Amino acid sequence: MYSFAYHKPTSVKDAAGAFAKGSEARYLAGGHTLLPSMRLRLSHPSDLVDLAGVAELKGIKVDGGTVTIGAMTPHGEVASNAAVAKAIPALAKLAGGIGDPQVRNRGTIGGSLANSDPAADYPAAVLGLGATIKTNKREIKADDYFKGLFETALEDGELITSVSFPVPEKAGYAKFANPASRYAIVGVFVAKTKGGVRVAVTGAGPCAFRQAAMEKALSGGFTADAVANVKHAASGLNSDLHASAEYRAHLVTVMAKRAVAAAS
């Protein structure tokens, strides 16, 4: 990888300050996407701002019907947190299915969302539960956050500080995982919330998106049968060596059925 200047601030304010001073700075969270892409020389930041020393970005809080997860909380901690497992079991299960144990020890929710890999798991939960992404500048609703392939509403230098998930009545997640990387070829998150049913799909398109026809079908009855005949169009879906767009379209329905069946 190319050389860079390394910074390790201890506050969000100092992190943003260090970022602003670099010509092509990047924040370093768990580093499990950024470091491999730097090693391939696909990414060559002038400065790396390591967030590991910023205590205010870590931790999990469950209260008053909201689960709030600090941006630098690793997946493994979300997966093994008893309060999360009780409040939103589907969220704990999703976190426990990301990558492998070593990835889960390093990778973070903030890093995953800032990167917005089309096959990442967390975007499905964030969009499916209608979470709020808090940054050092503002709050962004999940519906306004995902913009395209590796593209989010975050501005240059804007730093995710935490994510707040409203506790749903029930929710479920199912993914068809790539057997090597465990990335979602297609993952579907379903949630029955006070505001209605939400269905979010990851892995299938350029970024996570909601599936309106399935939301409508599940509003009439939250059962796997209700979505069994709701087809998703293949146009616009990802097509690569792992799966064609048509196959992914088929998987959207299959994963939606499994997610509803698994919901609790």
Name which of 190, 185, 202, 218 is nearest 145 in CA terms.
Answer: 202
- CA–CA dist 44, 110 (Å, integer): 20
**Scanning residues 106 to 145, which ones bind another protein (CB under 8 A)?**
106
The reply on whether position 60 binds another protein by CB under 8 A is no
Which residue, 136 or 178, is less far from another protein as judged by CB?
178
Span of 44-52, 164-172, 190-198, 220-228 interacting with another protein by CB under 8 A: 44-52
Q: x/- site string to another protein, residues 6 to 35, per CB under 8 A?
A: x-x-------------------x--xx--x
Q: How is the beta sheet containing 47-50 ordered, strand by strand?
A: 5-7, 47-50, 25-28
Name which of 131, 107, 109 is nearest 200 in CA terms.
Answer: 131
CB of residue 106 vs another protein: minimum separation in angstroms? 6
- CA–CA dist 23, 18 (Å, integer): 10
CB of residue 9 vs another protein: minimum separation in angstroms? 14
Distances (CA, A) of 60 to 64, 66, 71, 153, 191: 13, 11, 10, 24, 21
Q: 26 forms bridges with which residues in the sheet?
A: 48
The reply on whether position 48 binds another protein by CB under 8 A is yes
Which one of 22, 85, 153, 182 is in contact with another protein (CB under 8 A)?
182
The reply on whether position 99 binds another protein by CB under 8 A is yes
| 224, 217 contact by CB (below 8 A) | no
**Contacts of residue 255, Cβ cutoff 8 Å, sequence gap at least 6:** 174, 175, 176, 186, 187, 188, 201
The reply on whether position 210 binds another protein by CB under 8 A is no
The reply on whether position 242 binds another protein by CB under 8 A is no
The reply on whether position 150 binds another protein by CB under 8 A is no
Interface with another protein (CB under 8 A): 1-6, 8, 28, 31-32, 35-36, 38-39, 48, 50, 52, 76, 80, 99-103, 105-106, 180-182
